[in-house]
Chain A
């Protein structure tokens, strides 16, 4: 009897111990993506709702950001983008801010500052003004980071705040880019790097005027993505600039989609198809896949598509 009780006690202890080990993971929701969805895609006219649903399908925001953590947002919404379909729709950022706030994160920081009047572009912003006002700007300080596995890029100056946050969320816009054919999650990383690092991406170690090298630029983008993989990527494919990107103006199509994944390579592999490319046509995607950052085999990915259009 005594032995049995001891056995039972040991079994219970083991269960509790295992539970304690798994609890943080469970609380982060790692096991909540029951369907093992690689990319969650939601179509609809309400881009705020599309964003919430896209994250829900991946297991909810608590899978990525739990109470008391610090979140860093890298959003493609800086000052130079003013034309239709060149910057992330504010509704998508508002939805992320609300979800993070509801999840009880301690702090949210913009890794790049938004353009002046960004949230005023959308009426919903007024409703979330109190949350918008709590978001911190980045420090403006850059840190030199070694990239030992980089092929073309071995060091880079990256915004310091990227390394101070617990959760890194990459919010990009899916659009044409004349320099790399396509831009989305992978290229958005260049928003976190200092201008001189970005110029190196474009010009290479020796500046050759008029001799832009798409391969070099793409390799640098793949290399910079080795630094820190985003915990969550969200992409705006509500309206897509299909030609003359990234600045525009050009042809705009309106798929009305928001999609999300924790794999930036899978994000780009899916996103480039809106521009009639295959993942293997895009150097950044191929090179980032070679680095082992994510998957390019679109056919084998579990893509969950939901429509919110009634």
Chain B
């Protein structure tokens, strides 16, 4: 058998399959939306709109930046209305992979929602529901909070969820946290500095160059974990971060110990940054005793 020829055929096959898949998904997004009367008394109020790549800026202005940081492909959106002219908007974001979908999903959580039985994970808040499944993020929202349409939102979420076949798990670091009982609604998963800046701002610019990060709340403590490629990278990054933070916060007093440093931020929070294995753990708290207990719990989770 001619090996190069076989290899070429193999590549061509993979290439064709990948084209087929991406086209199928592009066309397929519209198939996830309920058609007229599939949700009783509700119909599509306008035609489906799709925004691909940079067009996301046209759709959501600067909100697009954080989606690009995760890896964004396209979004499809349709408005629905009923006879009373109640309105709903349904959006399906196709992200690069399931981690990206999870990350974008985590930014919609604001802590006080109720569990939505749809998708891999789903939450319902005042006037919107959000869930993720596979590499898709689904957002269903009303223009004003309206109790009457909550069951409709749940119906639509269920409809879409059953149509998405593939299920993937959240990022490994998030899975570990969920298994340890960390409250899901406080978790934010991020891939870059736009995401991080929206959680906590250490310095102007980049304090850490991480592979991925996650933040969550524990009793009296906010925790941020950065993951790096190796233990040595995390130690180096900690040292570089200390220098950058000293430079940026000239008034703050930094206390360094082995693989860790502490300082106080402008809100009188005690910030502790600690290199542990291939991670840097950051805790933000006003209660040292509880903070230290939380650090031990997190270390066990990451072990």
Contact = CB atoms under 8 A, between A and B. Distances in A.
Interface string A184-215: 00010010000100110011000001101011
Nearest to B108: A244
A130 B205 CA distance: 50
Contacts of B127: 83-84, 249
Given A84-B143, A199-B57, A249-B127, A214 B197 contact: yes
Given A181-B197, A247-B61, A249-B125, A215 B205 contact: yes
Given A84-B145, A212-B65, A202 B107 contact: no
Nearest to B145: A84
Interface string B141-178: 10111000000000000000000000000000000000
B201 A178 contact: no
A203 B62 CA distance: 11
A78 to B, nearest CB: 9
Contacts of A198: 57
Chain B interface bracket (under 10, 10 to 19, 20 to 34, 35 or more): 35 or more
B194 A179 contact: yes
Nearest to B67: A178
| Most chain A beta-carbon contacts within 10 A, residue among B66, B111, B197 | B197
Given A210-B71, A249-B125, A202 B139 contact: no
Contacts of B69: 210, 212
Contacts of A150: none
Contact of B192 (A84, A180, A210, A247): A210
B204 A212 contact: no
B195 to A, nearest CB: 8
Given A212-B69, A249-B128, A80 B61 contact: yes
Contacts of B139: 249
B89 A214 contact: no
Nearest to B70: A210
A262 interface: no
Contacts of A212: 65-66, 68-69, 192, 194
A217 B204 CA distance: 13
Given A210-B192, A249-B139, A183 B62 contact: yes
Given A177-B63, A202-B65, A252-B126, A215 B145 contact: no
30 contacts: A80-B58, A83-B141, A84-B127, A84-B143, A176-B198, A178-B62, A178-B65, A178-B107, A179-B64, A179-B65, A179-B66, A181-B197, A181-B198, A199-B57, A202-B57, A203-B54, A209-B68, A210-B68, A212-B65, A214-B194, A217-B62, A242-B110, A244-B110, A247-B61, A247-B63, A249-B127, A249-B139, A250-B108, A251-B111, A283-B204
B284 to A, nearest CB: 13
Contacts, number: 101
Given A80-B59, A178-B107, A249-B139, 9 more contacts: A176-B198, A177-B62, A187-B62, A202-B64, A210-B71, A212-B66, A212-B194, A215-B204, A246-B61
Interface of A: 80, 82-84, 176-181, 183, 187, 190, 195, 198-199, 202-203, 209-210, 212, 214-215, 217, 242-252, 278, 281, 283
A177 B54 CA distance: 18
Nearest to B96: A210
B227 interface: no
Nearest to B198: A178
Contacts of B126: 252
A84 B108 CA distance: 15
Contacts of B57: 195, 198-199, 202
B193 interface: yes
A256 to B, nearest CB: 17
A107 to B, nearest CB: 28
B60 interface: yes
A178 B194 contact: yes
A278 B204 CA distance: 13
A110 to B, nearest CB: 18
Contacts of A250: 108, 110
Contact of A179 (B59, B63, B125, B144): B63
A247 B67 CA distance: 12
B3 interface: no
Contacts of A177: 62-63
A281 B62 contact: no
A82 B143 contact: yes
A248 B89 CA distance: 12
A244 B107 contact: yes
Contacts of A252: 126
Contacts of B204: 215, 283
B106 to A, nearest CB: 10
A57 to B, nearest CB: 30
Contact of B110 (A195, A215, A251): A251
A283 B64 CA distance: 18
A80 B198 contact: no
Contacts of B266: 278
Interface string B257-276: 00000000010000000000
B73 to A, nearest CB: 12
A181 to B, nearest CB: 6
Given A181-B197, A215-B205, A249-B108, A82 B89 contact: yes
